[in-house]
Amino acid sequence: PQKQYADVVIEVLPTQLIPDDNERKVLRVRLVMKEGVKYF
């Protein structure tokens, strides 16, 4: 619910690069930034 008010969102997801990775030590990360925000 607070995502709509955020200037920056970091999404952390499990990797898809290593098949059968049960340890989940490698993460896939997505940074989403709102355009036009001052100081970004």
Place of tokens 């995502």: 3
Residue (of 27, 35, 34, 24) closest to 11 by Cα position = 27
Q: Does some domain include residue 40?
A: no
Q: Does some domain include residue 18?
A: yes
Q: Which positions ≥6 away from 5 have C-beta within 8 Å?
A: none
Mean pLDDT by runs of 10 across the 40 residues of the chain is 82 78 78 84
- The total number of structural domains in the chain stands at 1
Rounded Cα distance, 40 and 27, in Å: 24
pLDDT for the residue numbered 1: 61
Q: Does some domain include residue 39?
A: no
Per-residue tokens: 18? 């290593």
* DSSP state, residue 21: -
Domain that includes residue 23, residue range: 2-33
